[in-house]
Structures are given as C-alpha cells and as structure tokens.
C-alpha cells in the first residue's frame, strides 16, 4: 500500500456529482473527464484522510459555499472544454 492510497481531495466527489448533474445526453467520457480536470484545477485542494473527518469539521455554511464554488467551476469548465474541443 502506498502512502497516497489513504489521501483524497474532497472536491473530487463534489465535482463528479456536479458533472453528472450538468452533463448532456451524448457527452463522451473523455469530454467529461476533461471537464472534471478543468473544474478541479480551478478549485483549491481540500485533502482528507477519512471522509467522516471532513464532514465533521465543515460547517453547513462552508459546505454550501464549497458546493456553490463547485457549481460555478463545473459550469465554466463545460463552456471552456466545449469551446476548445477539436472537431476533426
């Protein structure tokens, strides 16, 4: 087991859920992965070892702010990736 196996970025789950909410029929997996990468690069990392620890230390207001940041980042990422997708 690697040391990295026990560390995660809290935003990854939030971004994946938001991408699923905003995706359109026909969006390809490669496109959605690009959207996730662009979104995550626009957000600050929030690393944790145990998700219960993260949930315990976040206030409801802080969680709501994080969800709003994620929604904006994903919306912007969809627009960015759609605008920069090559059509062969």
Instruction: Spell out the per-residue pLDDT of the chain, length 88, in tens.
Output: 565 667 889 899 999 999 999 999 999 999 999 999 999 999 999 888 876 666 777 888 998 999 999 999 999 999 999 999 766 5
Handedness of CA 8, 62, 64, 80 (dihedral sign): negative
Beta bridge partners of 47: 9
Q: What is the pLDDT of residue 53?
A: 65
Q: How many domains does the chain have?
A: 1
Q: Which domain holds residue 64?
A: 3-83
Q: What is the pLDDT of residue 7?
A: 86
Q: Does 61 reside within a domain? A: yes
The pair of structure tokens assigned to 46 is: 């929030």
The pair of structure tokens assigned to 69 is: 């940041």
**Neighbouring residues of 18: CB distance < 8 A, sequence distance ≥ 6:** 39, 70, 71, 74
Q: What is the pLDDT of residue 57?
A: 79
Side-chain-facing half-sphere of 3: CA atoms under 13 Å: 0
The predicted model scores a pTM of: 0.86
């Amino acid at each position: 087991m690697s040391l990295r196996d026990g560390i995660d970025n809290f935003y990854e789950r939030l971004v994946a859920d938001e991408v699923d909410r905003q995706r359109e029929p026909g969006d390809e997996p490669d496109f959605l992965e690009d959207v996730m990468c662009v979104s995550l690069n626009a957000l600050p990392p929030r690393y944790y070892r145990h998700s219960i620890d993260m949930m315990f230390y976040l206030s409801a207001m802080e969680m709501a702010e994080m969800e709003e940041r994620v929604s904006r980042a994903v919306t912007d990422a969809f627009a960015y990736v759609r605008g920069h997708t090559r059509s062969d």
